[in-house]
Structure 1
């Protein structure tokens, strides 16, 4: 998994939380604790897929363009991070006559694909508003 997924979820939840559902990249970056350029890069992916829109000029910024009760974390993962669970690595020479060296990459690729599919199944059950609800519970429980 990569940080783009976390930044995307954080940004969508923040926009869903704000009364006007709008924020600048600087506001989002301060909330996420990252550079505004990173936020803009991630939000450009979310804009291409219709989750956010932009407004230019004074009072502009990013606006939530989706229903946070409908957007699952699996959708966000697919936009930002699909395939990232599989590390880039190499195994032994495929020409070798060794059970492990010849087959490890194929077997591990299958394991990582299965793990990602299971994670997506879980993330399909979590909506952006569910994350916001969990945040409210954590905040309410603090003294």
Structure 2
């Protein structure tokens, strides 16, 4: 899994914390402690998914364009990180005669697919609003 998911959730929670506030990528990056260019890339994915609106120019930035209590973490995960649980590295060689070398990757692919589905099911029960409420009240 990559860190884009955590950053995306942080960005959306921050915007939910400041309703009706237009936040620049620099402001968000200071809060998240990430490079503004990385924030802009992630925010672009969130904009394409309909979670934020943007305004260019002076006074521009990002603003929440969804209900924080309706957007699930599954929605966010699918927008920025779906499919990243499975490592890119491939183990073994399916052309070898050894059953371990030739079959391990297929079995691991299935394990990661099932694990990601369980993770997505878990995230479906959490919303951006719930994360914000938990943060405000303390973990």
Structure 1: runs of 5 or more not aligned: none
Output the CA distance in 1 between the equivalents of 2:55 and 2:90. Answer: 45
TM-fit CA distance, 1:21:
3.6
| Mapped partners of 1:45, 1:63: distance in 2 | 14
Report the Cα distance in structure 2 between the residues aligned to 1:127 and 1:86, rounded to whole angstroms. 24
Q: Which residue of 2 aligns with 1:48?
A: 48
Q: Distance in 2 between matches of 1:112 and 1:42?
A: 24
Q: Deviations over 1:98-143 (max 9, x none)?
A: 111110000000000000000000000000000001101118xxxx
Change (3 A) 1:19 1:53: closer
Match in the other structure for 1:95: 95
**Native 8 Å contact 2:94 2:102 kept in 1:** yes
Alpha-carbon RMSD across the aligned residues, in angstroms, is 1.2
**Structure 1 residue runs of 4+, over 4 Å off?**
none
Matched residue pairs, number? 139
Task: Give the TM-score, by structure 2 length.
Answer: 0.95
Instruction: Report the secondary structure of 1:23's partner residue.
Output: coil
Q: Which runs of 5+ in 2 are unaligned?
A: none
Distance in 1, matches of 2:21 and 2:109, equals 40
Residues 1-143 of structure 1: matches in 2 within 5 Å? 1-138=1-138
